[in-house]
Amino acid sequence: MNKNDVVRDLRKIVGSGNIEDDELILKLYTRSASNIDGSAIAVVFPRSSEEVSNIVRYCYKNDIKIYPQGSASELVGSSTPYSDGIVLSFEKMNKVKEVSILDSYVITEPGIRLFELNQLLAKYGYMFPVDPASVKSASVGGAINNDSGGMMGARYGTVKNWVLELELVIPDEHGTILRVGSKTMKYRGGYDLVRLIVGSEGTLAITTSATLRITPIPENIVTIGGFFQDMRDLMETVIDVKTKGIELFVMEFIDDKTVESACRTMNLKIKGEGHYLLTSIAVAREASERVLSTLESLYRSHNVVQLYKARSQEEAEKMGLLDIRRALYPLAMKIAHESRRDPRSKMFVEMEDISVPPSKLIEAVNRLRSLEASFGIPMVIGGHVGDGNIHPIVWVEETDRDKLKTFYEMIKEIRRIGTELGGTFSSEHGVGIKKKERLVEEFEFKKSLKSLEVMKEVKKIFDPKGILNPGKMF
C-alpha cells in the first residue's frame, strides 16, 4: 500500500495531531537505547483502547506491521521498527484511572513513567515496587512487556509478581479487546494469560490498560555500604547474608573500576577503594540498630575496609549509598567515552544481563574476569547481586573495525556463562533482536528446543498474520 494512503487512512482514525510522518520525527521514534536504528512509515499516538483496536483492524486488513513503543529505553532492540510498519507510541495514553488503597491496586494506561506513577502513589504511602535503574523513563507498558526488575528485586521480584489484570488488543481481523486476570490477589480462571503477556516484548498483544498491585512503603529501611579489596570477600559476604535467612530489601554491587570512576567524578559523601556492596533491609523502626549491627559484623567478618551505615532511607540517600550503585551504567559510559579516539564516532556500550544461582556467583565473576583478560576488551561489572543478576558492561568504538568482531565474540561468551551455570543470559532486559541467537542456544543447552516451537505456536495463535512486532525474540 502507498505510504501516503496509509497515513491518510490512519489520520481518519486518530485525528491529525496524533500521527506524524515527518522525516525527523520518524528518525526520533525509530531509535532506542539499544543502539539499533530502525525505520517506519509513520508514528501513531492512540488516545484510547478503541482507537488502538481500530488501528489494529486497519493494519490487519492491509498487512501493515505494528511496532508498540513506550519510552524506547530497552537495550536489546525489542522496540525497533522496520520500514514495513508503523510505530504505535503510548506517549499520550498516560492517565492513571483509579487508585484503590483498600484493594491494593492502581489502574493505569500504559504510557505513564514508573517514576511518575510512584510519585502519585507516595501520596498514599504506597508504591509499585519495581524500580529499574531506568525508572525515570520506563513506561508501565514497556516494563510489563519487558518484565522489568530493579534494585528492590531481591525482595519484590520482577513485574510478573505485580500485575493483576490486563486489557489487551490482539492483532486479529477485529482488533479484539481482551480483558484477562482480575482485581483480586487470587485468580484461577483458566490459563494464566496475564503472565504470558508479561515479558512477551510486545509480540503477542498490545497492552492498553493494566491493574497493578501496589504495596505500602516499608516503615523503615536500614542500609549498609562497604568497600572490599577482594571481590571474593564481597561475594562471600553476599552468600553469608543470604544463608543467614535475612530478608533482603536491596543487595547490589559494583566493581573497583566503577568505584574509582565514581569517587573521581561524582560528588559523593562516601569514599572508598575496591569493590562496593550495598545491603538494605526493611525493618520495624525499633529493630533498626539490631539489624544494622548483625549486618556490620557479617561485613567485618569478610574483611570490609570502609563501612557506612544509614538508619533510614533518607539518611542513605543523603550519604549517596544508593547513588553510587545507580550510576553503574552512566559511569561505564563515562569510562567508555574517556577512551574514545574519534569525536564523531559513537561508543557501542553493551550492558549484558546474566543471572546465576547465588551459590555460583564467585565462579561467574571469576569467569567474567578471565574473559576480560583473554579478549583484551575492557569490562566493568555490577548488578543485583542479591538475586544473582549481574550486568557486565563492555564497550568498543564504532569505528574500531578490528576490535568489533572480538567484541561480539566476547559478548557471546558472557551470555554463555549465565546459561552454563544454571541461570540465564536474559534476566530482565529481554531478547529483542540482539539475543535471538542465544535464546536458541540456551534451549539447545537445556535439550529443550521443543519449548521454542511451543512459543512460536503461541505467537501464531495471538498473531496469525505475524504483523505485531515481527522479527523479535525468534
Partner 1 sequence: MFGERISEEVFMRELLKCSFCGFCEWVCPTLKAEESRLYGPRGRVNIIIFAIKDGVWTDLGLRSIFNCLVCGACNTQCPAGIKISEYIRSFRYYLISREFRPCFIAK
Ligand X SMILES: Cc1cc2nc3c(=O)[nH]c(=O)nc-3n(C[C@H](O)[C@H](O)[C@H](O)COP(=O)(O)OP(=O)(O)OC[C@H]3O[C@@H](n4cnc5c(N)ncnc54)[C@H](O)[C@@H]3O)c2cc1C
User: Shortest distance, CB of residue 358 to ligand X, whole angstroms?
Assistant: 18
Specify the residue, 27 or 446, whose C-beta has the smaller distance to partner 1.
27
Specify the residue, 187 or 348, whose C-beta has the smaller distance to partner 1.
348
Q: Are 372 and 378 in contact (CB under 8 A)?
A: yes
Q: How far apart are CA 161 and CA 449, in angstroms?
A: 27
Q: Are 276 and 266 in contact (CB under 8 A)?
A: no
Could you say whether residue 133 binds ligand X (CB under 6 A)? Answer: yes
Buried b (16+ CB within 10 A) or exposed e, 344-367: eeebbbbbbbbbbebebbbebbeb
* 201, 252, 352, 397: residue in contact with ligand X (rule CB under 6 A): 201
Sorted by sequence, the CB contacts under 8 Å of residue 60 that are 6+ apart come out as 171, 172, 173, 175, 465, 467
Binding site for partner 1 (CB under 8 A): 22-25, 27-29, 31-33, 35, 45, 71-73, 89, 91-92, 94, 113, 115-116, 134, 136-137, 265, 327, 329-330, 333-334, 337, 343-347, 349, 399
> Of these partners, partner 1, ligand X, none, which one is at the site of residue 429 (CB under 5 to 8 Å by kind)?
ligand X
Specify the residue, 130 or 356, whose C-beta has the smaller distance to partner 1.
130
Strand partners, 347: 397
The one segment of 199-207, 218-226, 276-284, 406-414 that binds ligand X by CB under 6 A: 199-207
Specify the residue, 83 or 399, whose C-beta has the smaller distance to partner 1.
399
User: Shortest distance, CB of residue 110 to ligand X, whole angstroms?
Assistant: 4
User: Shortest distance, CB of residue 272 to ligand X, whole angstroms?
Assistant: 23
Instruction: Determine whether 246 is exposed, middle or buried from the number of CB atoms within 10 Å of its CB (0-12, 13-18, 19+).
Output: middle
Could you say whether residue 69 binds ligand X (CB under 6 A)? Answer: yes
Could you say whether residue 146 binds ligand X (CB under 6 A)? Answer: yes
Q: How far apart are CA 210 and CA 140, in angstroms?
A: 8
* 108, 207, 211, 223: residue in contact with ligand X (rule CB under 6 A): 207
The enclosing H or E element of 28 equals helix 23-28
> Of these partners, ligand X, partner 1, none, which one is at the site of residue 74 (CB under 5 to 8 Å by kind)?
ligand X
User: Where do runs of H (alpha helix) occur along 82-174?
Assistant: 114-122, 140-146, 153-156
Q: What string of DSSP letters covers 60-92?
A: HHHT-EEEEESS---SSSTT---TTEEEEE-TT
Q: What residues from 433 to 472 belong to the interface with ligand X (CB under 6 A)? A: 469
Could you say whether residue 150 binds ligand X (CB under 6 A)? Answer: yes
Helices 401-420 & 361-375, crossing angle to 10 degrees?
Answer: 160
> Of these partners, ligand X, partner 1, none, which one is at the site of residue 90 (CB under 5 to 8 Å by kind)?
ligand X
Specify the residue, 137 or 229, whose C-beta has the smaller distance to partner 1.
137
> Of these partners, partner 1, ligand X, none, which one is at the site of residue 29 (CB under 5 to 8 Å by kind)?
partner 1
Specify the residue, 74 or 442, whose C-beta has the smaller distance to ligand X.
74
C-alpha cell belonging to residue 8:
491518510
* 46, 85, 129, 141: residue in contact with ligand X (rule CB under 6 A): 141
C-alpha cell belonging to residue 238:
553476599
Q: Are 329 and 261 in contact (CB under 8 A)?
A: no
